Amino acid sequence: MKTLSFPSLFVLTSFFLGAIQLHVSNAQLNATFYSNTCPNVSAIVQNVIQQALQSDPRIGASLIRLHFHDCFVDGCDASILLDNNGTLRSEKDAAPNTNSARGFDVVDKIKTAVENSCPGIVSCADILALAAESSVSLSGGPSWNVLLGRRDSKTANQAGANTSIPAPFESLSNITAKFTAVGLNINDLVALSGAHTFGRAQCRLFSSRLYNFSGSGNPDPSLNTTYLATLRQICPQNGSTTALANLDFTTPNTFDNNYFSNLQTNQGLLQSDQELFSTPGAATISIVNTFSSNQNAFFQSFAQSMINMGNISPLTGTNGEIRSDCKKVN
């Protein structure tokens, strides 16, 4: 096998570094993007969410989930916000979102408030990223400097939403692969799964664990038997498939690290939650233990992983557009 000489290796390396640099500088978000054009945008977003939380303690959870489901499908480009029309098949109607994703009305309220102060300036994709941060910090979680400068897509990808967003019935290795596909690693997976420290899930998304796990005729063996009894009351056999359980039964509306201590006592709600701790030999176990014993470590990692997720393939520069109504292309 012919080895490359030192000079050609150098030239090749410089070329790739240059290409990477060019790519990054092309798509670089920053925290000061609106500092001249809409300096108060964070406060406006936060203010609307604070109001909404008064009547709906779940709304913060619903909003951060929209950002996640947006970013995993062709990047953080507000594609999830587009409504169905004659030709466009919306992501809202994709399997992970239909009768599940919520908070679109509050996103519209935020957009209206932002447009009143700074018309035509702030993208819907950036509004989702800002709303995610406000939702976490207003619920007791960390704050971070949200990177901005995303633009909005002119299309949606329903097929992509069906296949790219992880499902609660998937194995840890399948879910890890979906994170890897968007450039996120297992630290990001465990930290971001910690968002299940607030919000709710419908019985249909975990009840097979209560009665007939993987066709075994028995409950999921990795489910705490005391917790199992509680969940069976919330989700009786043949009961409503849309009844809700708290993702974190201890502090349902607070952003803290109890999600991770729940996993240590086999009290994760979704199969995908418990797998992080109960998959034999998994590298995620020690990360769960770290976050369970050290809330600061969780908060720091969570903030960094939210930035990592928010950096997935943004539209920048002259790509895409600034939608004036988040529900439709201009």
Ligand X SMILES: *[C@@H]1O[C@H](CO)[C@@H](O)[C@H](O)[C@H]1NC(C)=O
Residues that bind ligand X (CB under 6 A): 30, 32-33, 40, 43-44, 47, 85-89, 94-95, 149, 154, 158-159, 162, 170-171, 174, 212, 215, 217, 224, 226, 237-238, 265-266, 329
Contact 127, 48 (CB under 8 A): no
Using DSSP's 3-state secondary structure scheme, residue 328 falls into strand
Q: Which tokens sit at 107?
A: 């996103």
Report what 217 binds from ligand X, ligand HEM, none; CB cut-off 5-8 Å by kind: ligand X
Could you tell me the smallest distance in angstroms from the CB atom of residue 33 to ligand HEM?
A: 22
- Is 69 annotated in the active site? yes
Q: Does 200 bind ligand HEM (CB under 6 A)?
A: yes
**Tokens 């607030």 correspond to what residue?**
198
CA distance linking residue 227 with residue 33, whole number of Å: 47
In the chain, % helix, strand, coil (3-state, to 5) comes to 50, 5, 45
Q: Which tokens sit at 280?
A: 């034999």
Using DSSP's 3-state secondary structure scheme, residue 244 falls into strand
Residues 243 to 282 in contact with ligand HEM, rule: CB under 6 A = 247, 270, 272
Interacting residue with ligand HEM among 27, 31, 113, 201 (CB under 6 A): 201
Q: Does 47 bind ligand HEM (CB under 6 A)?
A: no
Interacting residue with ligand HEM among 29, 46, 58, 157 (CB under 6 A): 58
Tell me which amino acid residue 275 is: E
Could you tell me the smallest distance in angstroms from the CB atom of residue 100 to ligand HEM?
A: 3
Q: Which tokens sit at 93?
A: 């109607």
Contact 146, 310 (CB under 8 A): yes
Report what 68 binds from ligand HEM, ligand X, none; CB cut-off 5-8 Å by kind: ligand HEM
Q: Which residues pair with 201 in a beta bridge?
A: 245
Write down the catalytic residue from 69, 92, 102, 209: 69
Could you tell me the smallest distance in angstroms from the CB atom of residue 42 to ligand HEM?
A: 19
Residues tagged active-site: 69
